[in-house]
């Protein structure tokens, strides 16, 4: 599931391809991904509009239009493809491989396709950023300069949530998912089960440092090699190499040699070393 670093890498790589281009035609092939918005509304709000900027907030990708905003969320398997022409896209999607293209934005040059084999990803178009409900519900972006150690402490010290669940709550801090929350807590040597308000300044400072360092390191990996939008077989490889605890259940901790355990919190797997994470 793409988290902040993956979506940021997608935004940076797409920017030169999309900025300044006009959306000639928007086609929704699987209306479930735009619900409750209808294909007609998606067309009405996006067709003929120029893409002025491409940016990310939390795990969302936004295409800023001259008037309005395209919002995309990849959920588990959503991906973007870039084709030179609509003809190429149709040739690829009609192949036996079946690419499950959900939404197509045909630009004055090039075609952007949103694909998701399970159709769980989401694409919406809003008349203005103010209308975009997901955007207004997001907390401070995890890589934004406004997320200082002080700001994190203020947020975390007023939360009774276990640290792991606090980090996954997009309304508090936006952009961190299951993988990088495990990694940040391991790096900060904090027990994921502790409640937010049990952290002193020193500990929340350590967590802040760990969040920023884990996300920045992952982003570097996601940009080298940069996303390749030519087919669904492509996916980020680099970030796996920097993981220290995620999905290492039963293996020994790279810091203390203790046993990495998998515990379940809020229905999600947490990987941690309870020997050195206190
Ligand atoms: Zn350990």
Q: How far does the centroid of ligand 1 lie from the alpha carbon of residue 177, in Å?
A: 21
Q: How far does the centroid of ligand 1 lie from the alpha carbon of residue 254, in Å?
A: 7
Helix, strand, or coil (residue 187): helix
Mean pLDDT, the chain, integer: 94
Which range, of 60-74, 140-154, 229-243, averages the lowest pLDDT? Answer: 229-243
Q: How far does the centroid of ligand 1 lie from the alpha carbon of residue 278, in Å?
A: 10
pLDDT value of position 240: 85
Neighbours of ion ligand 1 (CB under 5 A): 253, 255-256, 258, 273, 275-276
pTM of the shown model: 0.96
Q: Which residues of 190-229 are buried (b: 16+ CB within 10 A; e: fewer)?
A: bbbbbebeebeeebbbbbbebbbebbebbbebbbeeebeb
The per-residue pLDDT for range 165-182, each reduced to its tens digit, is 999 999 999 999 999 999
Closest CA to 197 of 169, 158, 166: 158
Residues with catalytic roles: 2-3, 59, 268
Q: How far does the centroid of ligand 1 lie from the alpha carbon of residue 256, in Å?
A: 4
pLDDT value of position 241: 86
pLDDT over 90 (residue 194):
yes
């Amino acid at each position: 599931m793409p988290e902040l670093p993956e979506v940021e890498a997608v935004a940076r790589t797409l920017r030169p391809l999309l900025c300044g281009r006009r959306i000639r035609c928007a086609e929704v092939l699987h209306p479930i991904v735009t619900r409750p918005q209808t294909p007609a509304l998606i067309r009405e709000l996006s067709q003929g509009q120029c893409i002025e900027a491409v940016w990310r907030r939390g795990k969302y990708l936004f295409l800023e239009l001259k008037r309005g905003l395209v919002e995309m969320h990849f959920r588990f398997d959503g991906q973007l493809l870039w084709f030179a022409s609509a003809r190429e896209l149709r040739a690829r999607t009609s192949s036996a491989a079946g690419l499950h293209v959900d939404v197509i934005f045909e630009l004055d040059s090039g075609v952007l396709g949103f694909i998701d084999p399970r159709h769980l990803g989401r694409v919406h178009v809003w008349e203005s950023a103010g209308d975009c409900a997901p955007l207004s519900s997001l907390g401070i972006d995890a890589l934004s300069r406004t997320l200082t150690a002080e700001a994190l402490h203020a947020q975390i010290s007023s939360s009774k949530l276990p640290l792991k669940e606090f980090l996954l709550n997009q309304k508090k801090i936006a952009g961190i998912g299951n993988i990088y929350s495990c990694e940040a807590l391991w790096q900060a040597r904090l027990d994921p089960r502790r409640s937010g308000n049990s952290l002193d300044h020193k500990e929340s400072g350590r967590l802040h440092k760990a969040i920023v360092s884990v996300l920045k390191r992952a982003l570097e990996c996601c940009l080298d090699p940069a996303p390749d939008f030519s087919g669904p077989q492509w996916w980020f490889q680099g970030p796996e190499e920097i993981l220290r605890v995620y999905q290492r259940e039963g293996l020994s901790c790279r810091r203390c040699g203790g046993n990495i355990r998998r515990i379940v919190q809020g229905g999600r797997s947490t990987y941690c070393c309870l020997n050195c994470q206190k």
